[in-house]
Structure 1
Amino acid sequence: MPRKLIAVRLISHPVLCNYYVTYRCNAACSFCDIWERPSPYVTLANAEQNLHDLRRLGVRVVDFTGGEPLLHRQIDQLLALAKRQKLITTLTTNGLLYPKWAERLRGKVDMLHFSLDYADAERHNAARGVACFDKVMESIQIARALGERPDILFTAFPDNLDHIGRVWEEVCLPNDLVLILNPVFSYGDVADDAQLNADALATLRAWGKRKNVYLNEAFLQLRTDGGNHTAAPVCRAGSTTVVISPENTLVLPCYHLGQQEFPIENQLYHLYRTEAVQRLVAQEGRLPACEGCTINCYMQPSFAVEMNRYWWKALPSTLKYNYMKGTWKQLFAR
């Protein structure tokens, strides 16, 4: 039987928006199926109203995601609209298009992540389905020259743990970059053969204590506990995270389950508070597909809003990252 969580809710409003600007991608990663979906691009007019409403709902962080977000031809303007609302911005890219966009993105992304999963080009490019390793290296140098300090987002699989040391020593330390260790997660039929065993989790745990390395310890604890359990859920995806699709719909309870989509029609603030939406929010972590879930995108904000044992597990690494990046000040700015 899952252990019942003793929790005190600290924050009752959503804190994060996963804003899918497009599902299109110029890579074909083996652990993702988003790139297989047809997709439009979000419009500036819709985004402007939505970002205003996200601020009203209490959201503090907006993650412009995809697909590959740099495929959106107005991504710099989308970021500028978010900054106008005093939102903390994040963006993750495979690096292919960053050199083209670098000047226009300067100063607009608070947490810029370059994906890098192996220390050599051949293996990284094979995993990503496209030759992007050299572009990541180029992007790092361009970003640093512009005064940016990107992070390296390393998705950890059973077969690449031996590359963590080289990426840390050869890429992160010389450039004073933070290495974010992102344990692979499965959903549907994606990456269901890439589970991390106890030895792999122990390896990640040890790396998480190193200089310039961020790993949310609660991710590892959740995997040790068998993931989310519907009888005693830790997932708070519906109440912490607003998911907006490229079609300008509100997706609930999360992107990866996508049980229902609601047309936003410039009414995001009111839509989120409707009975139909809140009924789905109330089922967060309790739907059949939620059993065993370890999806980091939703667990990270879930750990941040309830004081339970996962909150305590996440706290040291959260403080460490915000200290390294200096973003803690923005969390308290209004």
Structure 2
Amino acid sequence: MRLVRHPVLCNYYLTYRCNARCSFCDIWERPSPYVQREAVFKNLKDARRLGVEIIDFTGGEPLLHRELPVFLEYAQKLGFITTVTTNALLYPKYAEALRGKIDMLHFSLDGADADTHNAIRGVHCFDHVMRSIEIALELGERPDILFTATNHNIQHIQSIWEKICLPHRLVLIINPVFHYNDVGEALSKESLMLLRKWAKKPWVYLNEAFLKLREQGGNDPQRPVCKAGSSTLVISPDNELIVPCYHLSAARFPIRNNLFDLYNSPEVQKWVALEGRLNACKGCAINCYMQPSFAVEMNAYWWLALRSTLKYNYLKGTWRRYLVQKIKARKL
């Protein structure tokens, strides 16, 4: 049963450029401009009209865009919940400017020691993550620790949880690695079993629906669970609307200052209707599109995701921020 029929999330790619070289990602290989302020402001207004509630300013590395604090402040004024994930290389430099503007701040950390983390990220950034955690806590921020779990680093979860998350009461987000094109990997049955145990631990957020989807072989085009096109707006640094998702990029449409009408156009809706049904969608388990997909349609995945989501919202207090943003939006 479909519960929500409008986009709830916007993945706004500020740039594809990145100062890391992660082994499970190929975005950093793409040439890219930076988004322009005027386009961002107009698109955020239209996204609000379309019903979007969460803006994920992403990349690449979003902190490479020097106007990120401006975008975040404007998004909050419009009533959005904001989220940013960073490798933390630039966070110490911009921490003060970002203070209070990110509702869900994620620091990527994929190893309990410098050698492991730096090898996965392709640059020396472990010390920057550690310093960024200190700075964020000093500023009164509560960053999440985002751990991308692979078959090779899964044994590091225990140490990160015990030494970083529990002492500081920070949420450990376990993000199961996914495979697309020739990037990433599939998790073994043993890894999935181990992750299922971690989902029950205190101060750990792991969407159990992710695990179930992988155990069942990913998205099935005959009975698609993916609702990427209808639940998520994807905006490129070139100011294009990408459908049905970034990783597939089946079609791109120049926005031209009218995201609202463009999204509702027959041309775009034709692709939205194909969400999860294309041949290339077979076996897909990409977290950033499955997360909103689980939220808009009631099924077995919805119930699993609900339990995990309620746990995260309780730990973070995000539900209070959500109510505040709703009140702000009504006053505009």
Q: TM-score when scaled to structure 2?
A: 0.97
CA RMSD of aligned residues (A): 0.7
Q: How does 1:48-59 map to 2 (within 5 A)?
A: 48-59=41-52
Q: What residue in structure 2 maps to residue 218 of structure 1?
A: 209
* Code of the aligned partner of 1:97: L
Q: How does 1:174-213 map to 2 (within 5 A)?
A: 174-191=167-184, 194-213=185-204
* Code of the aligned partner of 1:312: W
Deviation larger for 324-333 or 17-26? 324-333
Q: How does 1:252-263 map to 2 (within 5 A)?
A: 252-263=243-254
Distance 2:322 2:49 in 1: 16
Distance 2:283 2:86 in 1: 28
> Which of 82, 89, 92 is the aligned partner of 1:96?
89
User: Secondary structure of 1:167's match?
Assistant: helix
Residue 240 (structure 2) pairs with residue 249 (structure 1): yes
> Which of 35, 48, 60 is the aligned partner of 1:42?
35
User: Secondary structure of 1:285's match?
Assistant: coil
Q: What residue in structure 2 maps to residue 227 of structure 1?
A: 218
User: Secondary structure of 2:209's match?
Assistant: helix
Q: How does 1:289-304 map to 2 (within 5 A)?
A: 289-304=280-295
Residue 58 (structure 2) pairs with residue 65 (structure 1): yes
Kindly state the Cα deviation for residue 331 of structure 1 after the two structures are TM-superposed.
Answer: 3.8
Q: What residue in structure 2 maps to residue 5 of structure 1?
A: none
- 8 Å contact 2:103–2:321 — kept in the other structure? no
Deviation larger for 322-331 or 179-188? 322-331
Distance 2:215 2:237 in 1: 35
Distance 1:36 1:162 in 2: 29
Distance 1:265 1:81 in 2: 20
> Which of 51, 73, 82 is the aligned partner of 2:75?
82
In the TM superposition, structure 1's runs of 4+ consecutive aligned residues that sit over 4 Å from their partners are none
Q: What residue in structure 2 maps to residue 25 of structure 1?
A: 18
Kindly state the Cα deviation for residue 330 of structure 1 after the two structures are TM-superposed.
Answer: 3.9
Q: TM-score when scaled to structure 1?
A: 0.96
* Code of the aligned partner of 2:29: E
Distance 1:76 1:232 in 2: 41
- 8 Å contact 2:89–2:129 — kept in the other structure? yes
Percent identity among equivalent residues?
A: 65
Where structure 1 has 5 or more consecutive residues not aligned to the other structure, the ranges are 1-7
Q: How does 1:253-292 map to 2 (within 5 A)?
A: 253-292=244-283
Number of residues paired by the alignment? 325
Q: What residue in structure 2 maps to residue 311 of structure 1?
A: 302
Distance 1:170 1:239 in 2: 40
Kindly state the Cα deviation for residue 239 of structure 1 after the two structures are TM-superposed.
Answer: 0.1
* Code of the aligned partner of 1:99: P
